[in-house]
Copies of this chain bind each other. A is one copy, B any other.
């Protein structure tokens, strides 16, 4: 196959990236506290699950980070990218991939990465 033909594999990673970028920029900034974190996790996972090519998604928000960011005066904080651990299985045609987002301490960055194709 010619190298410049776009494949299902190309598309599965393109779609996977779209989901992570969308999730991040739709939901970070949401007010959150330890009492409301679970409903936010559920809603984020369900919201992204309706998009094309998503087979499975789990969203986990780091309670320790939320706790450490709670404002002393007001008792809540905002959802930050670094608080998110997201695991997504994406399918395009006959190709599946697993991608994730997780805070990378060395880079001080919420790193999105490809974990596997199968």
CB <8 Å contact, B31 and A48: yes
Interface residues of A in 12-62 (CB under 8 A from B): 13-33, 35-36, 39-40, 42-44, 46-52
A114→B21 CA distance, assembly (Å): 16
**In which size bucket is the chain A interface?**
35 or more
| Cβ 8 A contact of A14, one of B14, B30, B108 | B14
0 or 1 for each of A73-86: is its CB under 8 Å from B? (1 = yes): 11110100100000
Cβ of A117 under 8 Å from chain B = yes
Q: How far is the CA of A9 from the CA of B4 in the complex (A)?
A: 11
A15 / chain B contacts, CB cutoff of 8 Å: 17
- How many Å lie between the Cα of A108 and that of B16 in the bound state? 22
Nearest Cβ in chain B — how far from A64, in angstroms? 18
A99 — which chain B residues lie within 8 A by C-beta?
14
